[in-house]
Amino acid sequence: MSTSSNSEHPGVPAQPTLTSSMAQRISQIQARMAAACARVGRDPAEVTLLPVSKTFDAGAIREAIALGFTRFGENRMQEVAQKAPLLEDCNINWVVIGHLQTNKAKEVARYASELQSLDRIDLAEALERRLQLEGRSIDVLVQVKTSTEETKSGLEPAGLVPFLRQLSQYPSLRVKGLMTMAVLSDDPIAVRKCFSQLRQLREQAQQEGIAGVSLERLSMGMSGDFELAIEEGSTEIRVGSAIFGSRTAPA
């Protein structure tokens, strides 16, 4: 299978060629997912593929919908607000995966079905207020910072259990698991370490038996490193360019 260079994690196997059709690219990704599961004795059905549609237009999303997807990850609420009216006939579940400012809570409460980047109590409070006004609740994943990079967002690992306990005050937020972004490195050992740390943190938190917190989900792994993430226990990988093709706008 021909591959292209990997801009996200250059030390990890490259993504499929982007000159093929979207259906072919998805098939190649699914084959790699299955192979990663086989290497560690996992059932491929345990791992979900989340298409990340940031910077891609409504036409590209409709193409993915025709291939069976109904959930799409977006980094910026501005993009969701622009795309949602164009795709309102598609019953899309918008998943917010980017760092979120509290002033975007209104848009999340209106459009999103899930937030994977919850990392602060002030954000939880803002979301709860807005969700109460909308009469809605959403699934949330807590983003944990497993990399030392300043560009990465997330809760510090030591604060995870106290933070999860505080979230019981916000009934509109259904805590379902954890999310992380691995270090941007050409060293697969360093990348793998980020994923294994999140899995271990999940296990430690589960032992605490926090009410209302299940943590069955681990969202980790992107186009350039999802095989390592699957081997370390990921239940959902977030894939953009390997599905949709090269981005013409900044990510």
- Kindly report each contact of residues 160-167 with a partner whose C-beta sits within 8 Å and lies 24 or more positions away, as own/partner: 160/201, 160/204, 160/205, 161/204, 161/205, 161/208, 161/210, 163/121, 164/205, 164/208, 164/210, 164/213, 165/210, 166/121, 166/124, 167/118, 167/124, 167/140, 167/142, 167/212, 167/213
Amino acid found at 156 = E
Reported as a single tens digit per residue, the pLDDT across 16-50 is 444 479 999 999 999 999 999 999 999 999 999 99
Mean pLDDT over 153-164 rounds to: 96
Boundaries of domain holding 206: 22-244
Is 9 domain-assigned?
no
- Decide if 2 is inside a domain: no
Is 125 part of any domain? Answer: yes
Instruction: Report the CATH number at residue 240.
Output: 3.20.20.10
Report pLDDT for 211.
78
pLDDT in tens, 163-214: 999 999 999 999 999 999 999 999 999 999 999 999 999 999 999 988 778 8
* CA dist., res. 1 & res. 41, Å (int): 24
Average model confidence (pLDDT) for the chain? 91
In a domain, 17, yes or no: no
* Phi, psi (rounded to 5 degrees) for 222: -125, -170
The partner residues of 48 in beta bridges, in order of sequence, read 236
d(CA 225, CA 137): 31
Domains held by the chain: number: 1
In terms of Cβ atoms closer than 10 Å to its own Cβ (0-12, 13-18, 19+), residue 194 is buried
Three-class SS state of 246: coil
Higher-confidence residue of 84 and 16: namely 84
- pTM higher than 0.95: no
State pLDDT tens for residues 132-144: 999 999 999 999 9
Domain-embedded: residue 224? yes
